[in-house]
Amino acid sequence: MDSLLAERNYLIHMLASLVNAAPPANPPENLNWARLYEIAAYHHLSNMLCYGIEKLEPQWRPEQATMEKFQRDRKFALAKEAAQHFTLEQVLRTLEKHRIFCLPLKGYLIKYLYPRPDMRLMADLDILFKDEQTEEVKELMLGMGFTLKHFGANHDVYVKEPFINIEMHRRLVARDSPYSGYLKRPGPEPGLKRVVSISTAYPGRIFISIFSSIWPNTLAKAAPAFVPYWISGSMKSITGL
């Protein structure tokens, strides 16, 4: 029998209630909040869970020491998200100013599907750009105070303490990848600027093909939640730069 079953189930319930804007049920009497915090923190969900816990009546919340851990992680997530957001906006404006074609990817867009953007923590920020503009991008990133940690292959890595790690991608997948043919180089659509959107005839197909080859056992659970966002249309461009 799973000794952490109550904690795992309540974690999933709490996350579902947040995503669906529903009030959470009170925790079971045998719930071990300290263990639940450990599970949530391991999966980088403790900051998100804190929002759900604060919807509970005080008598159903964790003991003070554990509650302070949840609140600490939320404060850290807020600070990290704010720093990442400000920095990426600065980077995009600089790239736009110097005529660098680019496309923000992944977490920077996905976080806005959450009730709050700080609920979706990001280890790094991803930007797609044209390979032929590599040296220009390097000069601009270094000029903004970044340190070049890795250079070459599919992407370059630029870092700035304490939270910022930006991966500048030359391509979405490696040239020798069996999926490289699905994707064409993104370009500006009529009336758009250099920070552009990616349009493809088969966004859902790309996601399913790549995802299923890497995590085939996870696809059946994950696809119903995420694929509709991909199938519904192309990612929108950043405007107002």
Do 93 and 209 have their domain in common?
yes
CB atoms within 10 A of CB 226: 16
Q: What is the enclosing helix (H) or strand (E) of 166?
A: strand 164-169
Do 44 and 100 have their domain in common?
no
Which domain covers residue 55, as residue numbers? 5-62
Do 113 and 172 have their domain in common?
yes
Q: Which of 172, 123, 165, 174 is nearest to 146 (CA)?
A: 165
Global pTM reads: 0.69
For the stretch 139-183, pLDDT in tens is 999 999 999 999 987 899 999 988 899 999 988 777 777 766 655
Query: Of 62, 87, 108, which residue is a domain's last?
Result: 62
Token pair for 167: 């991966």
Do 99 and 147 have their domain in common?
yes
Please give the backbone phi and psi of residue 157, each rounded to the nearest 5 degrees, phi first: -115, 125
Three-state secondary structure readout of 127-158: EEECHHHHHHHHHHHHHCCCEEEECCCCEEEE
Q: Give me the mean pLDDT over the 110-127 stretch.
A: 88
Distance of CA 187 to the CA centre of its chain: 23
Inside any domain, residue 239: no
For the stretch 53-102, pLDDT in tens is 999 999 999 999 999 999 999 999 999 999 989 998 999 999 999 999 88
